[in-house]
Amino acid sequence: MSELTIEDQYAAELKQSDIDHHTPTAGAMTNHILSNLMVEYVKLNQVKWYVKGANSFGLRTEYDRLIALNTRNFADLADLLLDEAQKPSSTTAELTKYSMLEENGAFKYNDADTMVTATITDFDTENLFVDRAIKLAEKEERPALAAWLVGYRGSNNRNIRQLQAFLGNEARTGLDEEDDDDED
């Protein structure tokens, strides 16, 4: 039996990844979370670098904390995927492909409230993937993965509440509101 080349091994990994993303597994869904963390890292830095106004000093300090937490979560989650015999995305192209967060270079010209609101929305979007990954991890009997994801969900909830407080809002303001068109 001949050994696979490096290129063949990577091609097989990409093929399996495609299969896993079309029939979601806990690993595939968690890879989306990893990808979201990578894009979120860039977006958090964008806010830190460009935020202006009376609250910019405090927001820069808060965003330093969020960036450090994001970096730690990215590394921990990649290690956890490896622990679970999964292959975390390992190139910028792969991470970008699987992220559901969007970037915009013009975003840096927004006011502080708009920037903070966007961060809140990103954390809430990330939670959609976290909730699905938790269910898949429980179904696949991956308790360590499920436990980490539950803790990460709680951390996102805390970050949402604290950023909402900066805006003068309750934790879920604007995030759980139903569409008025549905109430006919």
How far is 30 from 85, CA to CA, in rounded Å?
13
Whole-angstrom distance between the N-terminal and C-terminal Cα of the chain? 67
Are 97 and 144 spatial neighbours (Cβ–Cβ below 8 Å)? no
DSSP 86-136: -----SHHHHHHH------GGGGGS-HHHHHHHHHHHHHHHHHHHHHHHHH
Could you give the CA distance from residue 70 to residue 111 in angstroms, rounded to a whole number? 23
Q: State the DSSP H helix or E strand holding residue 67, giving kind and residue range, or none if neither.
A: helix 56-83
Q: pLDDT tens, position by position, for the chain (184 residues)?
A: 568 787 776 666 666 656 555 668 999 999 999 999 999 999 999 999 999 999 999 999 999 999 999 999 999 999 999 999 999 999 999 999 989 999 999 999 999 999 999 999 999 999 999 999 999 999 999 999 999 999 999 999 999 999 999 999 999 999 986 544 444 4
Q: What is the DSSP letter of 118?
A: H
pTM: 0.85
Token output for 120 = 């809140």
The amino acid sitting at 114 is T
Instruction: Report the 10 Å Cβ neighbour count for 110.
Output: 18
Instruction: Tell me whether residue 150 is exposed, middle or buried, using C-beta atoms within 10 angstroms of its C-beta: 0 to 12, 13 to 18, 19 or more.
Output: middle
* Residue type (1 letter), 111: D
What are the φ/ψ torsions at residue 151 (nearest 5 degrees)?
Answer: -65, -40
